Chains A and B, each alone.
Chain A
Amino acid sequence: MADTFQKSFAALILFAWLLVGVPLGWGVYNTLLSSMKLFQAPPPPAASAPVTAPK
């Protein structure tokens, strides 16, 4: 009886953490994707465009 109680309780804790963890993970994933632009952004078109500094 005690074992059964403990198991369901662990499942409840896992469920609670998943409930907040999944949206947070989704948000972190989206932000990471956005952050990658810092490293993936193509170099400014200095070679092909006229040499005018962006405003």
Chain B
Amino acid sequence: MALLSFLDREKSIAHPGYSRWLVPPAALAIHLSIGQAYAFSVFKIPLTQLLGVTKAVPDDWKQTQVAWIFSLAIVILGLSAATFGKWLEGAGPRKAMFASAVCFTLGFYISYFGVVTHQLWLLYFGYGIVGGIGLGLGYISPVSTLIKWFPDRPGLATGMAIMGFGGGAMIGSPLAIKLMASFKNSTDNGVGKTFLVMGTLYFIFMMFGVFTIRVPRDGWKPENWVAPTKPQALITTHNVEVNTAFGTVQFWLLWIVLCTNVTAGIGIIEQASPMIQELFKGKIGPVAAGGFVGLLSLFNMAGRFFWSSVSDFIGRKPTYFIFFAVGAVLYFFLPQTGANHLNSVVLFVSISVILLSMYGGGFATIPAYLRDLFGVYNVSAIHGRLLTAWSVAGVAGPVLVNYMREYQIQHGADKASAYQTVLHVMAGLLVVGFIANFLVRPVDEKYWMKESKA
């Protein structure tokens, strides 16, 4: 009971003198942990060889069955963020982070039982649903707290945390590979024990975030910082309640902005390895393609920090204009770098990493954009609802890319040419995002909360 009361919002109010620079590491501890989800693919092959240990046997699970675990986790991430966002605003970040850690760890533990009893539904339920709830709660839990601590640099602050989600896969992937290798023996490929150890390690790491996070006292502001007095059209000083925000045009325009940006990014991420090999046939092999995927991860992570920080200086709307205008041109031009045209690997890689940095930047800049339009009061809850755009893009994006590519190939296009249409459609999606961003206007006064409530 004492522990539960420690989790209360009131108990996490910072004492005078508490440094706000302790808050980003607390948020990073959560995001670096839950970002492991993007490294789930390292379990894909081992999970299809649980019975055969070194090779798949007929009773082993198929890759298509295993792939649903990750998809389910991402869908549940969006749904749980949308569902629990409002609760989080009242409960405070510490309780939400704790709940996230419990769910995320339980997801691993339940999956362990799924592995040892060879019950696939336990992995869907464990990692997919329970773990997915942990992902959603963890993703949005530090957002409004960071914005309150960094009213002078909200983009930088949320960028630091959301960068962690991009970086989480870089830790989770080699960690899982090393653990599986150490647990592997002639009768066990080590996946189950790896789940147990990873669940425990991540729980301990996330507890650092739980114990360190603090919310600022009412009326706190950074030393020597004065809130801008000059009104800025797209930065409100008022607040909009989450249910009200849900009914505004601005919310849905930003939903389209996020959805199109994510779908386009997935166009590259989903096909990165085969795309570079097929566009540069005979020049790039699977090993080099693996290096390309690693490079994309680095730029995806760096872009989250870079672009969200840039948005503090140039504004959110111009930042997304850059993503959509430059992105559309680059997506349109990307197929021209292939072996059939310019035949430049350097150009292809350079364009791809810029595109991936903007994909990551789109994720990291959206909380600050929401804060500008709707105020800080319910920003985590509004952000949570907006993340349903990610769920939709996460499922629709790969389906769209794969379907279009297959359609092209079935109608006589060679594998390299098939990418042209796919990438041109991605460019078209970014034009849609550009228009949505263009249409964003300040939220009408009638939606503002009464100041006493805020």
Contacts and interface: CB of A to CB of B under 8 A. Distances in A.
Interface of A: 5, 9, 12-13, 16-17, 19-20, 23-24, 26-28, 30-32, 34-41, 43-44, 46, 53-54
Given A24-B32, A39-B291, A41-B291, A54 B167 contact: no
Interface of B: 17, 19, 21-22, 25-26, 28-29, 32, 164, 167-171, 173-174, 205, 208, 212, 277, 281-285, 287-295, 297-298, 301, 349
A31 B294 contact: yes
B179 to A, nearest CB: 14
A38 to B, nearest CB: 3
A13 B19 contact: yes
A28 B29 contact: no
A38 B349 CA distance: 10
Contacts of A35: 291-292, 294-295, 298
Given A12-B22, A23-B32, A46 B282 contact: yes
B297 A13 contact: no
Contact of B298 (A26, A31, A43): A31
Contacts of B26: 16
A31 to B, nearest CB: 5
Contacts of B293: 34
Contact of B288 (A12, A31, A32, A41): A41
A24 B298 contact: no
Contacts of B287: 37, 41
Contacts of A9: 17, 19
A19 B294 contact: no
B170 A24 contact: yes
A44 B288 CA distance: 11
Contact of B212 (A16, A32, A34, A43): A16
B285 A41 contact: yes
Nearest to B212: A16
Contacts of B29: 19-20
A28 to B, nearest CB: 6
B292 A28 contact: no
Given A16-B25, A32-B294, A54-B281, A38 B170 contact: no
A54 B21 CA distance: 52
Contacts of A46: 282
Contacts of B21: 13, 17
Given A19-B25, A20-B25, A24-B164, A37 B288 contact: yes
A24 B28 CA distance: 10
A28 B167 CA distance: 8
A53 B170 contact: no
22 contacts: A5-B17, A9-B19, A12-B22, A16-B22, A16-B25, A17-B21, A17-B25, A20-B29, A23-B32, A24-B32, A24-B167, A27-B171, A28-B167, A28-B170, A34-B294, A35-B291, A35-B298, A37-B294, A38-B289, A38-B292, A38-B349, A44-B285
A16 B282 CA distance: 47
Contacts of A31: 170, 294, 297-298
A32 B298 contact: yes
A26 B401 CA distance: 33
Nearest to B301: A28
Contacts of A30: 170, 173-174
A37 B295 CA distance: 10
Contacts of A44: 282-283, 285
B288 A38 contact: yes
Contacts of A23: 32, 171, 205
Chain A CB within 10 A, most for which of B25, B173, B283: B25
Contact of A20 (B28, B174, B281): B28
Contact of A38 (B19, B28, B291): B291
A34 B171 CA distance: 13
A35 B291 CA distance: 4
A41 B292 CA distance: 11
A13 B282 contact: no
A3 to B, nearest CB: 13
Chain A to chain B: the 3 pairs with minimum beta-carbon distance, closest first: A27-B170, A38-B291, A37-B291
Output the residue of B29, B170, B349 with the most chain A CB within 10 A.
B170
B16 to A, nearest CB: 12
B170 A19 contact: no
| Most interface-central of A16, A27, A28 (chain B CB within 10 A) | A27
Nearest to B23: A16
A43 B297 CA distance: 24
Contacts of B32: 20, 23-24
